[in-house]
A and B are shown apart, each in its own frame.
Chain A
């Protein structure tokens, strides 16, 4: 239990270094209006998934706060949570402006995120979970960035900036956390856990793009 808390603390401290970068994310302008049906569909699904991701991250932090709210790490988690709230607001704005449909699974995401947040504070393999999740999401952002770059980089400069920043943040974190991951490798079934999480992330992204 304590190790999990320590891991959470180290995780959060490493993210704290990236706060400045995150703040810049929120001051960007939005996208140009879509040119035709295909582009609108592509942007729609991308924004929907990203919005759902931010929403989920929000709920995960809420879950973590519910458990660790009154401990030492409470204020730090609260601080991170506030950052995520700003991201979510930004995405809400973009969705509203571009008339993108939010995913139908939001209530489910709400509960699942909260439960996951609570679980993450308890289990020993927190670090491995986090690294696995960050890897999947990083891969997802990479593919989105590739799609945008292939289409037309100039049109999507702001959105690309958002994604590149988030990706960069996650990669930096991942490098720091990989060391910590070795602690978690002692957890039995570590590989299984990691695979399960990555498959889950991929499935979630697939579904969210469509529903």
Chain B
């Protein structure tokens, strides 16, 4: 790089800057560059025609080089350039963490190309395509490799995914949750607009969980493998996050606005229901998973019953306490302890 600058400055030293201005070449020079030119000794004005031509050509090359010069310094932008035609390189793996700054950089330098997509978007595309190969290859890196090939990329682009099959499963879970959230929001909209009736809580929960579990049906044969992948220690934080977001979404659209311990108990209950129903579904062989939905129904009824029972117990408890207080005061009156002496 330094050599390059020096080279270019040598070309310019024996040359009058007036020539550049006269020929209207817009050279994007950095300040340091100009200084170097100024510093480099003698400006001789010997100009033979050949030399003039040579210098003109050199300046043109300089101009085009400078333009590409200014675009090289930010390395992450360079990554974006090469992301489109991804041959696996370690740089790719490193820049997968730069996905976040890439997005904003992309926005700023949109003028340089409309077809560039970010690292994240490319990964998402590959993983979505990989889902089609899951029944064949299972939740493995082979599925991702097969998908990369169908997209016209090298199968070595699986190097982009540090977590391998885990990335695929987490992507699928996130996709399902997003779909569920959309469906619930849509239903909520319809209720708000008065086009549909609001469901009761139990029914709403049942429908929401069923909708979400039905998204697993195409992959149900390989789902046990996916579940075990989600249970790997390095995947647990992410899978828990997805699970808790999903449960929070469902309760939010079910109308829960509690701000006390109920917030936690409700979500814990629904998490339990969802997980157990998922397990039942995986080994269910009835037509259209009827047994699973029946199981789900029973569990939700259980939870609702428990909530009602809890309320009853609390009310009874309060009544009993009141009764005892009344009895105590009566006793004190009877024994004359309440009188002032």
Using a CB–CB distance below 8 Å, which chain A residues touch chain B? 51, 91-93, 95-97, 99, 101-102, 104, 106-107
Are B264 and A104 in touch, CB under 8 angstroms? yes
* A-contacting 9-mer, from B204-212, B221-229, B254-262: B254-262
A108 to chain B, nearest CB (A): 10
Interface of B is mostly: helix
**Does B252 reach chain A (CB closer than 8 Å)?**
yes
By a CB distance below 8 angstroms, the chain B residues around A95 are 257, 259
Smallest beta-carbon distance B267→chain A, Å:
9
A91 to B257, CA, bound (A): 12
A-B residue pairs in contact (CB < 8 Å), sample of 22: A51-B259, A91-B259, A92-B257, A92-B259, A93-B257, A95-B257, A95-B259, A96-B257, A96-B258, A96-B259, A97-B257, A99-B248, A99-B252, A101-B263, A102-B258, A102-B259, A102-B260, A102-B263, A104-B264, A106-B260, A106-B261, A107-B261
Give chain B's interface residues, CB within 8 Å of chain A. 248, 252, 257-261, 263-264
Q: Least Cβ distance of A57 to chain B in Å?
A: 15
Query: How far apart are the CA atoms of A140 and B261 in the complex, in Å?
Result: 25
A residues less than 8 Å from B261 (CB atoms): 106-107
- In the assembled complex, the CB of B240 is this many whole angstroms from the nearest CB of chain A, namely 14
CA distance A101 to B241 in the complex (A): 14
Enumerate chain A residues within 8 angstroms of B259, measured Cβ to Cβ: 51, 91-92, 95-96, 102
Residues on B with C-beta less than 8 A from A99 are 248, 252
> In the assembly, what is the distance between CA of A49 and CA of B259, in Å?
13
Q: How far is the CA of A51 from the CA of B258 in the complex (A)?
A: 12
Of A91, A93, A101, the most chain B CB neighbours within 10 A belong to: A101
Residues from chain A with Cβ under 8 Å of B252 in the complex: 99
For the complex with contacts A92-B259, A102-B260, 20 further pairs of A-B residues with Cβ separation under 8 Å are: A51-B259, A91-B259, A92-B257, A93-B257, A95-B257, A95-B259, A96-B257, A96-B258, A96-B259, A97-B257, A99-B248, A99-B252, A101-B263, A102-B258, A102-B259, A102-B263, A104-B264, A106-B260, A106-B261, A107-B261
- Min Cβ gap B189→A in Å is 16
Contacts of B258 in A (CB 8 A): 96, 102
CB-CB nearest in chain A for B252:
A99
In the bound complex, residues from chain A placing their C-beta under 8 Å from that of B260 are 102, 106
Q: Which of A91, A92, A102 has the most chain B CB within a 10 Å cutoff?
A: A102
Measured CA separation A84–B263 after assembly (Å): 22
Shortest beta-carbon distance, B74 to chain A, in Å?
23
Residues of B within 8 A of A93 (CB): 257
Q: Which residue of A lies closest to B260 (CB)?
A: A106
Closest 4 CB pairs of A and B: A96-B257, A102-B259, A92-B259, A95-B259
- The answer for the CA separation of A107 and B260 in the assembled complex, in Å, is 8
Distance, CA A99 to CA B263, complexed state (A): 10
Nearest CB in chain A: distance from B331 CB, A: 21
Determine how close the nearest CB of chain B comes to the CB of A155; give it in whole angstroms: 20
- Chain B minimum-CB-distance residue to A95: B259
- Chain B minimum-CB-distance residue to A93: B257
**How far, in angstroms, from A92 to B260 measured CA to CA in the complex?**
9
Q: How far apart sit A101 and B251, CA to CA, in the bound complex (Å)?
A: 12
CB A113 to nearest CB in B, in angstroms, measures 13
| In the bound complex, CA of A181 to CA of B261 (Å) | 37
Contacts of A96 in B (CB 8 A): 257-259
Which chain B residues border A101 with CB–CB below 8 Å?
263
Complex formed: what's the CA distance from A96 to B264 in Å? 14
Task: Determine the chain A residues whose CB is within 8 A of the CB of B257 once the complex forms.
Answer: 92-93, 95-97
